[in-house]
Amino acid sequence: MNADGSNLRCILPYTLLTPAWNPDGNWITYSEGGQIITMPFDGEHFLESDKQQLTFAGSNFYPAWSPDGSLIAYDNSTCGSATEPRPTDGCGILVMNSDGTNKKFIASNSRQPFWGSSNQFIFSYGLRYDHENEFEPLRIFDPEHFNLELIQQISFDPTFTSLTIIAMHPDGLGLRLFSYQIESNKIKTLMMAVQSFAWAPDGRLLVLRYDGRNIDETNGTLWLMEANGYNPQPLLLNEFQLIE
């Protein structure tokens, strides 16, 4: 759809799991059947005949492009079982070239990788990994300090000065969207009942907001708001009536 919510259209007849755009916007990477796939985009259509499979073993999700588009980090959730040992290159974060070559295991028992402002560091939850020098990871954020549980999504804002986080709080009010300021070590709630988010090129937040216990009869689930949580605007409007 357009940035103002108009011209909503379906461009693929199936779901892309954990999709991510490359920095230039001409490739999308996603998980299909537990494997990482890339597919080119010409600005209007996805070119399905040119899609490429990059991984071939285990269960792989959450691909993330490096800032210059040369690398893709992803997580492997094959962690073994009572009868099968954990693979040496499984149950953690890996990085590979954007064409699928040169796979390298980075960290065990970690998920949902994301990048900072350079190709040197890969982040997972609150830890920073230097995949070029293999130093010990550095903690930049402690979820337990703020009583955050079940982190669903986390990434830097476009200025790399704060982390945007979807997590659960023990108060029982469900998932919510937080902003954590790295320098001041302070956290702020931006919105309740948030399922997913993405950063728009102009620095605003695109948010998927849904609460099955309290359906809004007017506003839809897709919202756009300022980075500080101000001025939330629904992009889609509901067109139904609740049946009592």
Where residue 20 sits, what CATH number does that domain have? 2.130.10.10
Per DSSP, 144 falls in state: G
Domain match, 181 and 133 both? no
- Of 112, 140, 168, which residue is a domain's last? 140
Span 159-192, pLDDT tens digits: 999 999 999 988 777 899 999 999 999 999 999 9
Judgement on whether residues 133 and 195 belong to the same structural domain of the protein: no
DSSP 47-89: -GGG-EE---SS-EEEEEE-TTSSEEEEEE-----SSSPPPTT
Q: Domain boundary residue among 140, 169, 193?
A: 140
118 and 234 housed in the same domain: no
More confident: 45 or 217: 45
Angstrom distance (rounded) from CA 147 to CA 99 = 39
Contact assessment for residue 148 and residue 167, using Cβ atoms and an 8 Å cutoff: yes
Give 103-128 pLDDT, tens digit per residue. 999 998 889 999 999 999 999 988 99
Q: What is the pLDDT of residues 14-45, one digit of tens each?
A: 778 889 999 998 999 999 999 999 999 887 78
Q: The tokens 């991984």 sit on which residue?
A: 55
Q: What is the CATH number of the domain that holds 206?
A: 2.120.10.60
Are residue 155 and residue 134 in the same domain, yes or no? no
Q: What DSSP state is assigned to residue 145?
A: G
Q: Which domain holds residue 17?
A: 1-140
- 151 with 165: CB under 8 angstroms? yes
Based on the domain organization, do 120 and 26 belong to the same domain?
A: yes
H/E segment holding residue 151? strand 149-156
The answer on 209 and 113 residing in a single domain is no
User: Do 29 and 77 belong to one domain?
Assistant: yes
180 and 134 inside one domain: no
Verify that 8 and 126 share a domain, yes or no.
Answer: yes
How large is the greatest C-alpha to C-alpha distance in the chain, in angstroms? Answer: 61
User: Contact at 8 Å (CB) between 146 and 109?
Assistant: no
Tell me how many domains the chain contains: 2
Buried b (16+ CB within 10 A) or exposed e, 96-129: bebebeebebbbeebbbbbbbeebebbbbbbbbb
Give the SS3 label for residue 146. helix
- Say what the pLDDT of residue 215 is: 65
For residues 53 and 162, state if they share a domain. no
Angle, CA of 50, 17 and 35, to the nearest 5°: 60
d(CA 36, CA 38): 7
- Burial of 143-163, coded b for 16+ CB within 10 Å and e otherwise, reads beebebeebebbbbbeeeebb
pLDDT in tens, 149-158: 889 999 999 9
170, 71: one domain: no
Verify that 11 and 131 share a domain, yes or no: yes
Domain boundary among 140, 170, 198: 140
